[in-house]
Amino acid sequence: MPELPEVEVSRLGISPHLAGQQLLSVVARQRQLRWWIPDEVVQLTHQPILAVNRRAKYLLISLPAGDIILHLGMSGHLKVVASSTLPAKHDHLDLVLSNNKVLRLNDTRRFGAVLWQAKGQVHPLLAALGPEPLTDAFSSQTLINACAKRSAAIKLVLMDNKVVVGVGNIYANEALFKAGILPSAPANSVTAAKLTLLSTVVKETLAAAIVQGGTTLKDFSQADGKPGYFKQQLLVYGRGAKPCVQCQQPLTEIKLGQRSTVYCTLCQN
């Protein structure tokens, strides 16, 4: 599933093509994605697009009446193409624009979502989300407070969207390695100093991934069709049993919360 950097890269890729344009119409070839695409989206016509924003892993296309919420799910991706471009298999939704282009959602597995948030309201999926990791709302003290009374593994706490949004499996692995923290360590056993370092490296890791275009995953590509490049710099994720880049000890791979977790038994504690 695309993580926060990949979603932000998608936002940066599509925004210049959408912001300031008119949304002329919506073409829904398949309305049954993870949830049924609501009538409020399908019936939109001649609406000015005010901005393209992101909340956690959701993209929000802002209109005067509200926001179209897009979630890419496990296999979804967006592309901006000429309006004359014939749809391919699994091209489920088009936002037809006034610049003779369309924003097209392709989703092979249909686990993505297209939802609606009326102006002045907050969709239930967004209401309980924690702070954005790349803002001042997520600080060392935020993380220290969240971990103080929690005995769950620190990696699981870091991936809890009520604590901080968008830190998925890849970047949780990477950040914990850089901070020298064992992923399975109880959150309330990690020192304040290490949690302070962790909050910093989370920001640095996500920011670096965004700059480099997002991590290349099986089903992800940028809006212009180019893949992300951050995978070249992954230090632990996907490297189970390979030598640690710091000490050369073979990396250990386990399951935490049913997600692959890779770490170094010498460099992380």
User: Of 11, 55, 57, 239, which one is the catalytic site residue?
Assistant: 57
Is 2 a catalytic site residue?
A: yes
123 is in an annotated binding site: no
Is 55 a catalytic site residue?
A: no
Is 57 a catalytic site residue?
A: yes
User: Of 3, 6, 8, 174, which one is the catalytic site residue?
Assistant: 3
User: Of 2, 131, 133, 183, which one is the catalytic site residue?
Assistant: 2
90 is in an annotated binding site: yes
Three-state SS across the chain?
A: CCCHHHHHHHHHHHHHHHCCCEEEEEEECCCECCCECCHHHHCCCCEECCEEEEECCEEEEEECCEEEEEECCCCEEEEEEECCCCCCCCEEEEEEECCCEEEEEEECCCCCEEEEEECCCCCHHHHCCCCCCCCCCCCHHHHHHHHCCCCCEHHHHHCCCCCCCCCCHHHHHHHHHHHCCCCCCEHHHCCHHHHHHHHHHHHHHHHHHHHCCCCCCCCCCCCCCCCCCHHHHCCCCCCCCCECCCCCCECEEEEECCEEEEECCCCCC
Is 3 a catalytic site residue?
A: yes
User: Of 31, 110, 231, 259, which one is the catalytic site residue?
Assistant: 259
29 is in an annotated binding site: no
Q: State the sign of the Cα–Cα–Cα–Cα dihedral 81, 82, 87, 88.
A: negative
Q: Residue 41 and residue 103: Cα distance in Å, rounded?
A: 14
DSSP-assigned beta bridge partners for residue 36: 32
Q: Which of the residues are catalytic?
A: 2-3, 57, 259
- Annotated binding residues for DNA, written as ranges, equal 90, 109, 150
- Annotated binding residues, written as ranges, equal 90, 109, 150
